[in-house]
Amino acid sequence: MSQIKQELAGQTIVVTGSSSGIGRAIAIELAGAGADVLVHARSNRQGAQETVDAIKHAGSQSHAILADLADPAGQDRLVEEAWGWRGSVNVWINNAGADVLTGEQQQTFEQKLQQLLEVDVTATLRLSRDAGQRMKQQGHGIILNMGWDQAEVGMEGDSGEMFAAAKGAVMAATRSLARSLAPEVRVNCLAPGWIRTTWAKGASQAWQQRAEKECLLGRWGEVEDVARTARFLCSPASSFITGQIIAVNGGFAGPSTS
């Protein structure tokens, strides 16, 4: 492969929540750039192995770790095992999030919010602080978090309220972490918009139309769109970018009025 396609050769990268969806797409994309990738899942062993196999097929090394990020002990163990795998981590990507859209639908608003706060917020912040301090000591590193493009403009309904609270917190924390860990470690945050995830594929026609209407490009984004942006933010090409929220949404046209 050409040097451009191997811009992450020799890098060790951790992608949490990479047994499916956006996380899997990111892991495979980074492997295609030459990185060795540690795959994480809460309990989806088969999905994690499928991601590992895809990474190895791309010519990179991989390893899977199962850990419940709602549990502080699981968070601590993941960091310890990640550093133990290769002795160092170059890039840490906090993609894992609580599944409150396609999971158990009998849960109350409060139960779903609690899950989001535990996994999306607390785990992201604790993992970033732990990994970030190790990276700062080693003299280099990149942390990439996962936000939401509508957290700062708002969306009506239960999902809008709880995701705005959780992802808005992640986006705000990203800016502060970038200051805390500079100059050795760069910290940025992806803010995807309407991306064709598992939930999106089964969404009603009304949601399909809304997604297309609220995007300037008139379509859903694909998980690969997010993955390619992650690849850029993990590469030397983005070496002067930190503390930023990068929207991957095809241009948000504003809330639908119909």
216, part of any domain: yes
The predicted pLDDT at position 83 comes to 98
In the predicted model, what is the mean pLDDT of residues 53-66?
97
251, part of any domain: no
Q: How does pLDDT run across 106-155, given as a tens digit for each residue?
A: 889 999 999 999 999 999 999 999 999 999 999 999 999 999 999 988 88
In this structure, how many other beta carbons lie within 10 angstroms of the beta carbon of residue 208?
15
Structural domain for 194, as ranges: 4-239
The predicted pLDDT at position 2 comes to 44
The predicted pLDDT at position 3 comes to 46
248, part of any domain: no
Q: How does pLDDT run across 191-209, given as a tens digit for each residue?
A: 999 999 888 888 889 989 9
The predicted pLDDT at position 150 comes to 92
Which of 24-33, 45-54, 79-88, 99-108 has the lowest average pLDDT? 99-108
139, part of any domain: yes
63, part of any domain: yes
Distant-in-sequence, close-in-space partners of 39: CB < 8 Å, separation ≥ 6: 15, 18, 19, 27, 48, 51, 52, 55, 62, 63, 64, 65
Average pLDDT across the chain, whole number: 94
The CATH number of the domain holding residue 15 is 3.40.50.720
208, part of any domain: yes
Bond before 183 cis per omega within 30 degrees? yes
- Between residues 167 and 204, the one the model is more confident about: 167
249, part of any domain: no
Of the chain, the percentage scoring pLDDT greater than 70 comes to: 96
Measured distance CA(139)–CA(219) in Å, rounded: 41
Q: Is the pLDDT of residue 257 over 70?
A: no
127, part of any domain: yes
Give the number of domains in the chain.
Answer: 1
